[in-house]
Structure 1
Amino acid sequence: GKARNPRRSAADIQITALPELKIARHWYAQIDSTVLQQNVKRLDTAYKNFFEGRGFPRFKNRSNFMSFTYVMGVKLKGNKIYLPKLGQMRFHNSRSIPDGFTIKACTVRKRQNCWYISLRIEDKSVPEYSAKLRRNNPKVIGCDLGITKLVHLSDGYQIENPKFATNKKAKRTLKIRQRRVSRKVKGSKNRKKAAIRVGRFHQKIGNKRQSHQWKVANKIVSRNVDVIALEDLNISRMMRRCKVTTDKKAGRFLRNGQSRKKGLNRSISDAGWGELILKIEYLAVKQGKITIKINPKHSSQECRNCGHIDKSNRDGEKFMCVECGYHEHADIGAAKTIRDRVLTIVRGPGRETWC
């Protein structure tokens, strides 16, 4: 049977001790109780991630504690919002809440230029929706993500990669502003002002990237297809540091290629593949289309004519099979291979693939 006194988690123990903490430290009474409870749960989640091998929790102080969450007591009326313990204040209502939805949580975030509010809403009367194939022979388009070009589609269309953070002008601007921060006295107001300028520049780059990704996702999803084939990428693993190599006799560190990989990691981070895939999946569900992730292993090294797999088949953006001499654009060929792998899942094995 069930245990009568189940073991409580560390978060539950700390939450029950909050009333005593408010008595000992009277300024805690000025903070809403749900905000304090959510902060304790954040800490508990951070340590769970640490014990599961996902990195050590980062200490939060006044300068880097940027958000807090309300679970109840938030009220909206027009362009005014009421936050417990803070009172009523005006805000820019960028997206009105539809009728029938209730507010489940409200997160307040501080950015470089102002404060932002994000609401989590729920309507239990709305049924769960899952997209389904509308016909027996669905149209499939394959997407190959890259750095030179952001997306290569299996129909031959290519989408440019603006490189918002890694272009020459952005790198130079960022270098100058970071240098200005390092030359200021630590703890001074001028150093904080210079750091804010660096943060605003990063925010500007992030806003540009977000806007561009929504446009790219709309271009892909709005095509006349039923299924969108995407790469199942492990981006965090792709951006890992190279293994350290040492000389066994001398004990010195040897070159492991990390200095070259650092530039590649920055380009991958700037491309924002993970966020782009999430946006494509979101828009596809809204339009009743299906997205399927497939393993992209050897997709750009496999010959589409004879099936031979070899690293030497590819030279940059050129593909030429060393076995049969078949040639085409390497990344577009990879997008076609991804599309064909999804076709075998959707249509079943033994069907013809597209050319």
Structure 2
Amino acid sequence: MLRALAGQAQGWASNLSNRGRRLSRSISDSVLRHEVMWINACQLWNATNANQNATLRTGTGPTSISQAATRITRRWFDNYVKRYDLPDPDGLPLQFNQLSAKFEAVKDTKHRHFGYWVTLSTLERGKRIRVPVEPHAYFAAAGGIVAKTLTLRTKDGALYLDIVRDVPTERWHRPGVPLLALDLGLRNFLASSEGDIRGENFIDTLGRYDRQLQATTKGLQNAGIVRLTDCARYRRLAVRIRRYIKNNVQRWVRSLLQAHSPEEVILEKLNFVAENSGLGRRMNRLLRGFGQAVFKQCIKSWSELKEFKVTEVEAAYTSQMCSSCGFVHRANRKGNSFGCLSCGYLAHADVNAAKNQRGRSAAGAPTSTGSRHERWVSALREWLVRLRTGLLEASPGSTLHSRLVWRACTGIAVLMNEKRSAGKCGAARKVLQEFTLTLDRVSDACLYEKITWLVTTEAGSPALAVSTD
């Protein structure tokens, strides 16, 4: 019970820290913002100014904490405590082991009216409580052995008995793909590197729920209800949204995994909520918290059951990169369609992103490679190296050689045209000039001349427009 209470307190403090970061970002004064951020990092929300400065002297941070920063955090902390309940030890679950509880199937008892029975010991000798348990189709079909520890908890005034089965792990019954990459999104929930799409137009359904959620919230706020969870209608709507997300996430994940029986699953670092999703703040928070937790738990459960490996890769530029040639440009993707401006490769945008994830995992790419600009520079270098490798392998004057040179000219022209129009061509020019130094003047003469001419050509010239087309 102490561990459970400590977990409640840690969760409550974590939520408070997250809201404290939002509070600090809303302060325009940089000095005051730094002080509030430090107070939040040290979790000294309700401490006096003297205690905050005493803690400051033992660590690194601002030179001193002002009275204004202390007043802001203490007032904000008081309002938070009034609005959100403190951890409640009365709601802790009770755990029973095999000495104080017994789980039996109906065939092992003399009572025949229910599928299972649980016998719980009490403090009085000989007076036990028999609790009937209705059978559940999923629980009965799961197999395995029932664990010897039972948990009794309360929720919304009702009693729940949590019973766990220890299910033995087993491999897939048939051989499948060695690597299966899954791309997570809102427009289409899941796309695989094998070309599958699950949860098409997922955001449309979320949008309908979001409109209902916003209308309900607005009505309750106009009625003067501050705590929305006090309204039964709001709670029912939130439960319906969670049930929709959970049921469909589990169904879609199960469908893809059973269809391909992977030995390893590749995921990008999850970011379930897009900035331009058009969904409200409450729906975004629900997706970011509940939706990601359901997806992660589902993948984890399947990996433990089927013993496949789960790997996360860096997600930067996977939706803008061509899985065929490696060219990166934001104009490659338009909605669900992907068309490479360099090589002309066409595919579903989410499937193309999943293939890029699979390629990064197969190449052993690190999960983090620095800032976003550094990742873009790395992607541009990789594209140029792939082009040069293909040119060296192709016969000079052949159709393949001419096509590769055309791809290089088209891609570089599009890239330089975009960077010049945005006034950010310095980094691209530097990478291209460094690449030309690695070229051989004899074997790579054509590519060297084209890159040098395209880098030095001014934007908007007729020759550049022809190359772009």
* Inter-partner Cα distance in structure 2 for 1:48 and 1:92: 38
CA shift, 1:92, in A, is 3.6
For these two proteins, the number of residue pairs brought into alignment is 282
* Inter-partner Cα distance in structure 2 for 1:226 and 1:185: 53
CA shift, 1:102, in A, is 1.4
Task: Letter of the 1:41 partner, please give it.
Answer: A
Is contact 2:191-2:351 (8 Å) kept? yes
Within 5 Å, which residues of 2 pair with 1:110-259?
A: 110-111=155-156, 114-119=158-163, 139-159=178-198, 160-163=200-203, 166-168=206-208, 170-179=209-218, 181-182=220-221, 195-235=231-271
* Inter-partner Cα distance in structure 2 for 1:184 and 1:65: 32
TM-score, normalised to structure 1's length?
Answer: 0.60
SS at match of 1:108: strand
Counterpart residue number, 2:92: 68
* Inter-partner Cα distance in structure 2 for 1:143 and 1:269: 18
SS at match of 1:308: coil
Evaluate the alpha carbon distance shift between residue 42 and residue 332 of structure 1 in structure 2; reply closer, same or farther with a 3 A threshold: closer
CA shift, 1:149, in A, is 0.7
CA shift, 1:318, in A, is 2.8
Within 5 Å, which residues of 2 pair with 1:331-346?
A: 331-345=350-364
* Inter-partner Cα distance in structure 1 for 2:182 and 2:246: 19
SS at match of 2:325: coil
Q: Which runs of 5+ in 2 are unaligned?
A: 18-38, 46-76, 105-115, 366-469
SS at match of 2:316: coil
* Inter-partner Cα distance in structure 2 for 1:316 and 1:205: 25
Quick one: higher RCO (CA 8 Å, sep 6+), 1 or 2?
1
| Aligned partner of 1:82 among 120, 126, 143 | 120
* Inter-partner Cα distance in structure 1 for 2:86 and 2:121: 20
The structure whose Rg is larger is: 2
CA shift, 1:203, in A, is 1.2
SS at match of 2:92: strand
Evaluate the alpha carbon distance shift between residue 303 and residue 48 of structure 1 in structure 2; reply closer, same or farther with a 3 A threshold: same
| Aligned partner of 2:340 among 315, 321, 330 | 321
Evaluate the alpha carbon distance shift between residue 83 and residue 54 of structure 1 in structure 2; reply closer, same or farther with a 3 A threshold: farther
Larger helix percent: 2
Counterpart residue number, 2:323: 304
Is contact 1:66-1:110 (8 Å) kept? no
Is contact 2:154-2:160 (8 Å) kept? yes
Is contact 1:319-1:328 (8 Å) kept? yes
CA shift, 1:154, in A, is 1.8
SS at match of 1:335: helix
CA shift, 1:122, in A, is 6.8
How far does the alpha carbon of each residue in 1:62-92 deviate from its partner, in whole angstroms, 9 at most, with x for none?
Answer: 9988942223445545334538689665444
Counterpart residue number, 2:74: none
Evaluate the alpha carbon distance shift between residue 320 and residue 272 of structure 1 in structure 2; reply closer, same or farther with a 3 A threshold: same
Is contact 1:67-1:107 (8 Å) kept? no
Is contact 2:145-2:165 (8 Å) kept? no
Task: Letter of the 2:207 partner, please give it.
Answer: N
How far does the alpha carbon of each residue in 1:124-165 deviate from its partner, in whole angstroms, 9 at most, with x for none?
Answer: xx7xx6979x99x95322211111111112222211254587
Is contact 2:5-2:92 (8 Å) kept? no
**Greater CA deviation, 277-286 or 54-63?**
54-63
What is the percent sequence identity of the aligned residues? 15
Q: Which runs of 5+ in 1 are unaligned?
A: 1-33, 243-256, 347-355
| RMSD of aligned alpha carbons | 4.8
CA shift, 1:166, in A, is 2.5
Evaluate the alpha carbon distance shift between residue 130 and residue 277 of structure 1 in structure 2; reply closer, same or farther with a 3 A threshold: same
* Inter-partner Cα distance in structure 2 for 1:263 and 1:61: 19
Is contact 1:107-1:118 (8 Å) kept? yes
* Inter-partner Cα distance in structure 1 for 2:289 and 2:147: 36
CA shift, 1:339, in A, is 1.9
CA shift, 1:195, in A, is 0.9
CA shift, 1:312, in A, is 3.1
SS at match of 1:309: coil
SS at match of 1:141: strand
Counterpart residue number, 1:101: 147
CA shift, 1:288, in A, is 4.2
Is contact 2:210-2:283 (8 Å) kept? no
CA shift, 1:48, in A, is 7.4
CA shift, 1:313, in A, is 2.6
**Greater CA deviation, 172-181 or 204-213?**
172-181
SS at match of 1:235: coil
Is contact 2:210-2:279 (8 Å) kept? no
**Greater CA deviation, 44-53 or 147-156?**
44-53
